[in-house]
Amino acid sequence: AQSVTQLGSHVSVSEGALVLLRCNYSSSVPPYLFWYVQYPNQGLQLLLKYTSAATLVKGINGFEAEFKKSETSFHLTKPSAHMSDAAEYFCAVSVPPMNYGGSQGNLIFGKGTKLSVKP
């Protein structure tokens, strides 16, 4: 079975500081990994995804994540936080269903990390 653990339900950084949101996964097969962001009263928006190509993945809004198989991690980083980055961030893993093929398995999410950015 697959699972995701996000360390830290709340992370607070100062504007301009490094953002590091941690995600560890468990999967019996090579996973696909995702980071989604959820702004208040809005739907989930994809930040970036790893699908077995380059291990360093760049996403929108200056975020990036590195897939480390040996550590079963997919931590999200941004060099310099902006006030507009304040939101909740979810890491997710998927494994494609065998019977339909393709890359369309359901997502298994972590509990989320709420990022606060102080001026």
Partner 1 sequence: GAGVSQTPSNKVTEKGKYVELRCDPISGHTALYWYRQSLGQGPEFLIYFQGTGAADDSGLPNDRFFAVRPEGSVSTLKIQRTERGDSAVYLCASSPQGQSTQYFGPGTRLTVL
Applying CB under 8 A, the residues found at the interface with partner 1 are 4, 9, 32, 34, 36, 41-46, 49, 51, 90, 92, 94, 96-97, 99-100, 102-112
Chain position carrying tokens 């962001």 = 37
- Smallest separation, CB 110 to partner 1 (Å): 5
Based on CB atoms, which residue is closest to partner 1, 98 or 119? 98
Tell me how far CA of residue 24 lies from CA of 17, 59, 79, in angstroms.
Answer: 23, 19, 20
Strands 113-118 and 10-14, sheet pairing: parallel
Min separation Cβ 3 and partner 1, Å: 11
Helix, strand, or coil (residue 62): helix
**Residue 90 beta carbon to partner 1: minimum distance, rounded to whole angstroms:** 5
